[in-house]
Amino acid sequence: MAWMSWTLPTALFFIGIGVILIGMTAWQIASPCVERRGFLPLDTTRGDRLFIGLLSSAFIHLAFIALTDVNIAVATALCVIWMIILMRWG
C-alpha cells in the first residue's frame, strides 16, 4: 500500500485552509452575512467570495508555473492582493 508523502508546505497549506474555514465559520456565527453585489456579476456571500478567490488563486499559480520563470512567491503575493480585493469589493 502506497502512502502519500506529506511535506511541510503541503501540511501548512491544508492547515491554512482549515484555519480559514474555522475563521469564516466563527465570523458567520458572530455576524451573519447577506448576499450583496460588488464588481462580480452575481450576488455573493462571504463564503462564495472565499471559494471564488481560492479557486482563482489556484489558476493564478498554475498560470505562473506554466507560463513564466518568475518565482512562485510573486504569484502568492498577487493572490493575497487578489483575495483582499475580492473579499472586500467582490
Predicted pLDDT at 1: 60
Predicted pLDDT at 10: 83
pTM: 0.80
Length reported for the chain = 90
Predicted pLDDT at 16: 92
Per-residue pLDDT tens over the stretch 12-61: 889 999 999 999 999 999 999 889 898 988 899 998 999 999 999 999 99
